Copies of this chain bind each other. A is one copy, B any other.
Amino acid sequence: MTPARPPANWLTAREALAEMRAGALSASALMADCLERWRARDGEVRAWTFLDADAAMARAEAAGQGPLAGLPIGVKDIIYTKDMPTSFNSPHFEGHFPNIDAASVAILRQAGAVMMGKCDTVEFAVNGRRAATTNPHDPSRTPGGSSSGSAAAVADGQVPVALGTQTGGSVIRPASYCGVYAIKPTWNAVSAEGFKVCAASFDTLGWYARSAEDLDLIAEVLGIEAVPAPATLQGARIALCKTPVWDKALPETREAIATAARALSEAGAELTELELPEAFGGLTEAHRVIMQAEMRSSFLADWRQLGEALYPELVSILRNERGDSRADLLAVLDLAAACRAEFDRLAAPFDAVLTPSAPGEAPLGPQDTGAAIFNRIWTLLHMPTVNVPGLTGPNGLPVGVTLAGPRYSDRRLIALAGQLGALLPQPRRPGGQASEEASL
């Protein structure tokens, strides 16, 4: 009996591209399988704010040449796409349709990628209205935010790659909760032009995939330089950094870090504990002060236009109800800048820094999108971080770990993430389907 061809939607990007180049798969067949998975699962997962299946198929059929020829990509709905609306998941921007592509979208299209649809997000990628998206592993739980739909769509096999953005923990946290690879690159290594600005000093494009190799493929297309990386974990130098907020780590996150550290050690890596200097203890509050100050600039047009119609938490920030002064802001801006240089120095002896991705498993309920507490410091510092999936918590739900590193070590982290990920269990496929790889 000939086994049925496995559905192409579960292929990684590299696998799908290889099959397409070999003539064994067409862009439209790949898109058809992604759309079929979407149709089967959308009633539960609800990862998309906008998906026109006919238009997506038409784009696939017209796919151009390039390293990503025919690859479907999901786009967080705060990122502009000239052929689809961009609503920010805000009731005030329904049908909003900027007719331009974000720089990142333009680069990906130029490489042949096919934009499949827009992925749901927390309103303005900040707060307010939550994404309708559920965690693909358990619909009673959050996929995390704000890049909720991007992480869930990739985890659920609806699309091989999706774009998100991170200002606090909006790429890495959903990756941890949904059990996928993701990178939040070095700040400003990839253009942020063409998405709704929250805090210009922090906003960073990131992306999700089901393999580290896929993260690297997109990194290369988006212009992130290759850097040397250890070929194996044998002799790799890994720092274990519990961060100043380790007390926020639930047992499953402590266990995930310990398991990852043990796996790295057993593979021959040298593990060293890295304690951050006391000044780093101020960085979480620094992140809040800078983010909220920058939001008062970036949302001023919306504030003047919509005023109290904006959601209350945003209004409170725009009113500066905390009373942060410019002196407060300058103090933490300069602290952050000093800690950037200091972290680069501290991290220089290591190939990567192992640290939590999230406090634990995805919380219950749609309102609580989880805490960005383990991500804010790295976003503030402009450091790249990569989520490595595979481990799970007491409910069998994903618990990721992060590899961080100095600025511009992005692709070394991706390489090490792939090596670490290979030592961990394969992420379980949601929706009742066993992982093809795991069952082999």
Is A14 positioned at the interface, with any CB of B under 8 Å from its CB? Answer: no
Contacts of A297 in B (CB 8 A): 188-191, 223
Contacts of A98 in B (CB 8 A): 98-100
Is A429 positioned at the interface, with any CB of B under 8 Å from its CB? Answer: no
Contact of A301 among B97, B110, B333, B340 (CB under 8 A): B110
Tell me the complex Cα distance, A86–B126, Å. Answer: 29
Contact of A300 among B101, B107, B304 (CB under 8 A): B107
Contacts of A97 in B (CB 8 A): 99
CB-based contact A304/B334 at 8 Å:
no
Contacts of A190 in B (CB 8 A): 297
Is A361 positioned at the interface, with any CB of B under 8 Å from its CB? Answer: no
Tell me the complex Cα distance, A111–B111, Å. Answer: 42
Contacts of A341 in B (CB 8 A): 330, 334, 337-338
Is A408 positioned at the interface, with any CB of B under 8 Å from its CB? Answer: yes
Is A289 positioned at the interface, with any CB of B under 8 Å from its CB? Answer: no
Is A193 positioned at the interface, with any CB of B under 8 Å from its CB? Answer: yes
Is A225 positioned at the interface, with any CB of B under 8 Å from its CB? Answer: yes
Q: Mark A298-340, 1 if CB is under 8 A from B, else 0.
A: 1011001100000000000000000000100110011001101
Tell me the complex Cα distance, A305–B305, Å. Answer: 36
Min Cβ gap A338→B in Å is 7
Q: Which of A104, A193, A344, A407 has the most CB of B within 10 A?
A: A193
Say how many copies of this protein the assembly contains: 2
Tell me the complex Cα distance, A101–B340, Å. Answer: 34
CB-based contact A223/B188 at 8 Å:
no
Sort chain A's interface into a size bin: 35 or more
Is A197 positioned at the interface, with any CB of B under 8 Å from its CB? Answer: yes
CB-based contact A296/B223 at 8 Å:
yes
A296: nearest chain-B partner, CB-CB: B223
CB-based contact A223/B330 at 8 Å:
no
Contacts of A110 in B (CB 8 A): 301, 304-305
Is A426 positioned at the interface, with any CB of B under 8 Å from its CB? Answer: no
A336: nearest chain-B partner, CB-CB: B337
Q: Mark A156-199, 1 if CB is under 8 A from B, else 0.
A: 00000000000000000000000000000000111111001100
Given A201-B188, A301-B103: A408 and B294 within 8 A (CB)? no
CB-based contact B298/A330 at 8 Å:
no
A98: nearest chain-B partner, CB-CB: B100
Is A29 positioned at the interface, with any CB of B under 8 Å from its CB? Answer: no
Is A263 positioned at the interface, with any CB of B under 8 Å from its CB? Answer: no
Q: Mark A260-301, 1 if CB is under 8 A from B, else 0.
A: 000000000000000000000000000000000010111011
Q: Mark A190-220, 1 if CB is under 8 A from B, else 0.
A: 1111001100110000000000000000000
Given A200-B192, A334-B340, A337-B341: A300 and B223 within 8 A (CB)? yes
Is A229 positioned at the interface, with any CB of B under 8 Å from its CB? Answer: no
CB-based contact B107/A304 at 8 Å:
yes
Within 8 A of B (CB), among A391-440: 407-408
Contacts of A188 in B (CB 8 A): 200-201, 294, 297
A320: nearest chain-B partner, CB-CB: B225
Tell me the complex Cα distance, A326–B188, Å. Answer: 13
Min Cβ gap A323→B in Å is 13
CB-based contact A103/B300 at 8 Å:
yes
Known: A191-B301, A330-B408. 15 other contacts (CB 8 A): A99-B99, A103-B300, A104-B301, A110-B304, A111-B304, A188-B200, A188-B201, A188-B294, A188-B297, A193-B196, A193-B197, A200-B200, A330-B341, A333-B340, A337-B338
11 contacts across the A-B interface (CB closer than 8 A): A101-B301, A107-B300, A110-B305, A188-B294, A191-B197, A191-B297, A193-B196, A193-B298, A200-B200, A330-B408, A337-B341
